[in-house]
Amino acid sequence: MPPQYLYDISGIDLDRVLFDQEQIRQCNPHRGDMEMLNSIVFADPGKGQIIGYKDVRHDEFWVPGHIPGRPLFPGVLMIETVGRVRGIWGGDRCEIQGAGHAGGEDVCDRAEDLGKTRADLL
């Protein structure tokens, strides 16, 4: 059974791109292995909600060492990736303006394995 999301996203089109890779690069200064964000697919400043995703690849720097033979997207990198989403949300150079704070409260790591190659981040 797939993991349950903490929020109801059934009415959200997760394939509708609001910010693509180039637009993200205008907002976030990170490059190379630390870019960690491929797209923003939803934003509702009124509700304080934003969703982005990272395409998780089999050639990422952490794959050989994070559980060899069954690599898992490390939780610390998930949190780092959420930071990239936050950078879009509250960044001075971005179109979406909202709260400028990111934090973790009741953080849940719901990654399975590299069979799913996209990590959706709320």
pLDDT digits (tens, 9 = 90+) for 17-69: 999 999 999 888 889 999 999 999 998 878 878 889 999 888 999 999 988 88
CATH of the domain at 40: 3.10.129.10
Active-site hit among 30, 58, 66, 101: 66
40 part of a folded domain? yes
Domain count, the chain: 1
In a domain, 105, yes or no: yes
- Class of residue 29 by CB neighbours under 10 A (exposed 0-12, middle 13-18, buried 19+): exposed
* Higher pLDDT, residue 103 or 59: 59
pTM score: 0.74
Q: Is 66 a catalytic residue?
A: yes
- Give me the domain span that covers residue 58: 21-121
For residue 62, being part of any structural domain is answered with yes
